Each structure stands twice: as structure tokens, then as C-alpha cells.
Structure 1
Amino acid sequence: MSYEAWILIIGSLAGVTCGIIGCFLILRRLSMLADAISHTVLLGIVLAFLISQSMNGMYMLIGAAVVGVLTAVFVQLLSSSGIQEDASIGVVFTFLFAIGVILITVFADNVHLDVDHALMGEIAFVPFDLVQLGFLPPLPKAFLMLSAVLITNLLIIVLFYKEFKITSFDPQMAAAIGIPVLFIHYLLMGMVSITTVASFDSVGAILVVAMLIAPGASAYLLTNKLTIMLLLSAVFGIASAVLGYYTASFLDASISGSMASVNGIIFALVFLFSPSKGLISKKFTFKKLNTES
């Protein structure tokens, strides 16, 4: 498979994986918590390496999932103690992220585990990082990780679809009918964590927030049905990856940065022209009501 094809496939996988998870974050109003987790998982990656002395992707995913859930737990503890949620998120993610940076510089300075790569990502090099898996031909490591995480996330969503849906729209009713709200919440945080790590090579920890939030936010403005929202977010994720790549090729710019920028452009267009929730359609509706009255 060609170099260009691998970049498009891996970018699209990142867009779909992040976009689907992002829908639940949008519905739960947890967008900033996703930003926090995308930074704190760096600590999980470093700890996984220090414990295992290996850059194996499975260890990284486990470490990220654990620290991601811990981030959510710490934020919940501080919020329940009376501290505002945004302040709790700011304190927790800066503290854990700073520890991760310190551990990298002290214990992993000579290892290919640099902060810049983790933060910004570089999908242009991803097709060259190949892994031999059984009888299969050598495949990019990022492709295998994203595929595994996407399949895992889809299986979890299918198994707990009712629980995710009810806890996202009405957590009080979910608790009243016996759904373990906290368990579903922390399960989602674990999914966000492993999705973030799987997307590191493609877009990095900072730009992955655009992949997590923008497709879901765009889909939210176009439909009131969760299943349609999930499908639309996947479509927007693929569109941003494909259009972002060709935009970067045309401008000779950062591929991951272009993908994130296209996500923002798609959201801006939907925000303006959405038939029911768009800014322009709302203005026309308002003028029409004023004229009729």
C-alpha cells in the first residue's frame, strides 16, 4: 500500500475513533475533561515504560487508561469537595502532566519518548514505524493500535449502549433505575484515555482534542438522534482527515495541524448553516416570527 494511502487510512481511523467517543463527551458536557486526560495520559505512558522497560503499545494503553481514570477520579473528588469543576480540572491535569514531563527528562531522556512528539504528533512518519504481527505483512504500528482501540470501543458501546445513552441524557434517572452511573463514567474515561494514546502518533495530545470534540459537536448541531450523531461524527472525522491531508500537501504545512483545522472549519460551517440549530437559520426564523406577529 502506498505512503499516501496509509496516512489517509490512519488519519481516518483516528477521526472515526475520536469522533465516536467525542459524542458522549459532548452530551455529558465533559469536553474540558477530555483535554485534561489528553495531557495526563503522558504520565501513564512514562510510568508504563519505567515499569516494563518496553515501548510496547499494550503497556502504553494500560498505563494511559489507569491514569485517565485516576484523572477523572481526582477531578470528581475535588468537585465533590466544593471546588469548581473547571478549577479541579485545571489543578489535576497540570499537576499530573508536569509529573510526566519531569519523569521523562529525568528517567527517559535517552529513550524515544519525547514531549514534543507526544504533544504534537507527526503522522508523516507513521507509515515507516512497522510491526510484524503473525503471518500478516509488516503493518504500521499506529494502524494496528487504532484498529484495536476502535474495535474495542465499538464493542463496549454496543454492549453498554443503553447505559451510555441514559447516563448521558439523564444521570439521575439512570441512578434511580439501578444503572451504575459512576462505573459507566469511569469506563468512558478509560476509553477516552486509550483513544488518546492510540492517536498520539497521528495528531498528538494537543490536537487530538480537536478530533475528540469537533466532529461530535458538528454532529450534535445536525441531529437529535444518538445513532445518527455517532454516524455523522464518524463521517466528519474521515472528512477532516482526508481534506486535512490534501490541504497540508497543497500548503506544505503540518498534516495533523491541517486535519485539526479542517475539523474547525467543518464545525464553523455547520454552526452557521445547520437547518435547525444553525446561526443563520435561527436568524431567519426569528425574523419570520417578528414579521408574522
Structure 2
Amino acid sequence: MSASLVIMITGALVGASCGLVGAFLVLRRLALMGDAISHSILLGIVAVFAITGSRSPVLMIIGAGAVGILTVALVSWIEGSRLVREDAAIGLVFPFLFAIGVIIVSRFPSQVHIDVDAVLYGEIAYVPLYRLEMFGWDLGVQAFWTVGTMLAIDLLFIALLYKELKLSTFDAGFAAALGMSPVLLHYLLMAAVSTTTVVAFDAVGAILVVALLVVPAATAQLLTRRLTILLALSVAIGSGSAILGYWLARVINGSISGAIAAVLGGIFFLAFMFAPTQGLVAQMVLRRRQRRRFVQDLVVAHVRAKNGPVPALTLGSAFGWPEAATARAVSDAREENRLVLDERGQLDVPRSSPGSGAPS
């Protein structure tokens, strides 16, 4: 298998995993929590290296997962004091834990065998070099096994707890009334985010993990309001961006991680501008239609209130509108058969269909 294919498959697997759990982060308005976890787990990784001297993926996941849960617990504890809001609590906790990890990396480099640049930026181009060997057998690219297993776990987690996650995300009170535990579900989700983050961490770095957790889900949220479709779109956008980002990096001879993040940003911008119902352009068109409809309703109501023909030329002075706005409102109302204009320039509501001119 070529190195290019290995990189694209790994990126697609990472994008799919982050897109799945990231969707619930975005829906719960916890996007910043993903940023916090992706940085604070550095402490768990370097602590495992420093204490055990091992670079075992299993130990690394356990250590990082523990620190991820610690991050969530500390944020919840500080927020629960009601002295600090949640966003400020996140901003207090994760720089502190991340800083401790950076100190360990910089103070004891011989023990941890890692540097801050690798943590922040990662380098997915090196993924084909790391192979998984067991009992003398070469089982293939290590990232396929680690990230692929994590994707399978995330899929199983969401499939088994889909109803519970959905209810606790949109109405935690109702979920609690049905006997569910929103707090437990919250910590389970954060554990899934922590483990997903650390598995993706080695290949793409903390910064790109944050982008893959947040941007695909935020983009999908602009395109649909159905959770199942949102999850599918989030996975597709995360995986597709990784593949497109790789080819962009090849074309410009630049950073693969940077290109993936740029593609994510570009896709989000397109959705932000041109999403069918929630995009900026669609919202502008909708507001314009609503304004025209409102003006039309005012004109029809004015004519109806007169209980007789109204000279069309007097409408502008009655409302204080420009002539063009008045003419457009009259034209719209006539097209919809809400007003009729006789040969003398008099406006009236159609008498043949009572009630048809009532404002809507």
C-alpha cells in the first residue's frame, strides 16, 4: 500500500472518529471543552512516559483518558461553586494542566521522548513509518489499528446510547425524569472524547484534533436539523476534508495538517454562506421576502379598512414610503390576487372571493 493511501485512510479514520463525538460536543455547546481536553491530555501522556518509561499506546490512552476526565471534573467542580462561569472555568483548568505537561516535556526531555511541536502540530506524513508488530508478525500500519479500533468503539458507544445521548443533549431534565442519568452520560461522552483525542493526537496533533472535533459538526449543523443526518454529515465532512486536505498539501507542497484545517475552514465558509435554509444568503433572501410580505400585508389591510376603492397614488403619502416601494407592494399583491386595480387607478380587494385578501 502506498504512503499516500495510508495517509489518506488514516486522516479519514481520524476525521470520522472526531466527527462522531464532536457532533455531541457542538450540540451540547461544549466545543471549548474539546479544546481543553485535547490540550490537557498532554499531561497524561508525558506523565506515563516519565513514570513508566514506556510508549505503550494502551498506557498512553489510559493516562490521557484519566487526565481528560480530571479536566471535566475540575471544570464541573469550579462551575458548580457558582463563583466562575463554565467558559471561564475551562479557561482556567486546561492551561494549568497543559502547562504542567509542557514543563515536564521541557524539564525532563530524556524521560518523555516527545516535544511540544509534535504535540501541537503532529505530522501525519510519518504515519506510514510506524508498523504494528506482535510475536514477530507485521500486522500493518499501527494507525489503522489504533484509529480504526477507536472509530469502532465510538460507533458502538453512540449506537448503544443513541437514545440516551439524544435526550440528555436536547432536554436533560426530561431525560432525568425518565430515569436516565445526564451526569453519567456527560462523563461517558467526555471519556469518549478523551480517548478519541489521544488516539488521533499522535498523527495529527492537538490543534487539528480541535478542528476535527468542532468544524465538521458545526458545518453539519448548518445543513440539517435531524440528528442522524447531522452525524452522517459530520463524519463525511471530517473524512472528506482529510482526503481533500492531503491533495491540497501535495499541490501547494505544504503542511498536510494545515491543508486539512484550511479545507475544513473552506467547507464551513461555504455552508455558512450558502446552506439551503440556514446559510447567510438564504437568511438574507428570507428576510427580504418577509419584509416584502409585511409591506404587502400593510397595503392590503389599508385598502380593506377603507371599505371601498383607494387611489393607488395616495398610498405612498399614506405610509410615507418611496414610490418604488409602494409600487412593488401593489404589484406583489395584484400578482397574488389580493388587490385589483381598475382603469381609474383605484385599488380594491377582490369582491368575488371574500376573505382572500385577508393579511396572512
Return the TM-score normalized by structure 1.
0.96
Listed one character per residue, the Cα deviations across residues 169-216 of structure 1 (whole Å, up to 9, x for unaligned) are: 111111222211111111111111111111123220112111000000
66-75 or 140-149, larger mean C-alpha shift: 140-149
* 1:175-190 equivalent positions in 2, closer than 5 A: 175-190=176-191
Aligned to 2:198: 197
8 Å Cα contact 1:48/1:63 also seen in 2: yes
Q: 1:146 is matched by which residue type in structure 2? A: V
* 1:10-25 equivalent positions in 2, closer than 5 A: 10-25=10-25
* 1:19-34 equivalent positions in 2, closer than 5 A: 19-34=19-34
Counterpart CA distance in 2 for 1:222 and 1:292 is 26
84-93 or 130-139, larger mean C-alpha shift: 130-139
1:53 and 2:72 are equivalent in the alignment: no
198-207 or 22-31, larger mean C-alpha shift: 198-207
8 Å Cα contact 2:44/2:64 also seen in 1: yes
Aligned to 1:171: 172
Counterpart CA distance in 1 for 2:69 and 2:180 is 19
Aligned to 2:268: 267
Counterpart CA distance in 2 for 1:108 and 1:126 is 22
Counterpart CA distance in 2 for 1:63 and 1:75 is 18
8 Å Cα contact 1:203/1:257 also seen in 2: no
Aligned to 2:356: none
Counterpart CA distance in 2 for 1:107 and 1:174 is 47
34-43 or 135-144, larger mean C-alpha shift: 135-144
8 Å Cα contact 1:42/1:118 also seen in 2: yes
Return the TM-score normalized by structure 2.
0.79
* 1:211-222 equivalent positions in 2, closer than 5 A: 211-222=212-223
8 Å Cα contact 2:150/2:199 also seen in 1: yes
1:65 and 2:65 are equivalent in the alignment: yes
Aligned to 1:86: 87
| Cα displacement (A) at 1:162 | 1.0
Secondary structure of 1:139's partner?
strand
Q: Tell me which protein shows more helix as a share of its residues.
A: 1
Counterpart CA distance in 1 for 2:137 and 2:152 is 18
8 Å Cα contact 1:240/1:259 also seen in 2: yes
Aligned to 1:77: 77
Q: 2:71 is matched by which residue type in structure 1? A: T
| Cα displacement (A) at 1:133 | 4.0
Counterpart CA distance in 1 for 2:111 and 2:140 is 26
8 Å Cα contact 2:46/2:112 also seen in 1: no
8 Å Cα contact 1:68/1:189 also seen in 2: yes
8 Å Cα contact 2:164/2:180 also seen in 1: yes
Secondary structure of 1:275's partner?
coil
Q: 2:5 is matched by which residue type in structure 1? A: A
Counterpart CA distance in 2 for 1:162 and 1:133 is 39
| Cα displacement (A) at 1:74 | 0.4
Task: Indicate how the Cα distance of structure 1 residues 275 and 135 shifts in structure 2: closer, same or farther if over 3 A, else same.
Answer: farther
Relative contact order, higher structure (CA 8 A, sep 6+):
1
Q: List alignment gaps of at least 5 residues for structure 2.
A: 295-360
Listed one character per residue, the Cα deviations across residues 57-84 of structure 1 (whole Å, up to 9, x for unaligned) are: 1111111111101100100111111111
Aligned to 1:160: 161
Identity percentage of aligned residues: 47
Q: How many residues align?
A: 293
| Cα displacement (A) at 1:134 | 6.0
Q: 1:228 is matched by which residue type in structure 2? A: I
Q: CA-atom RMSD, angstroms?
A: 1.4
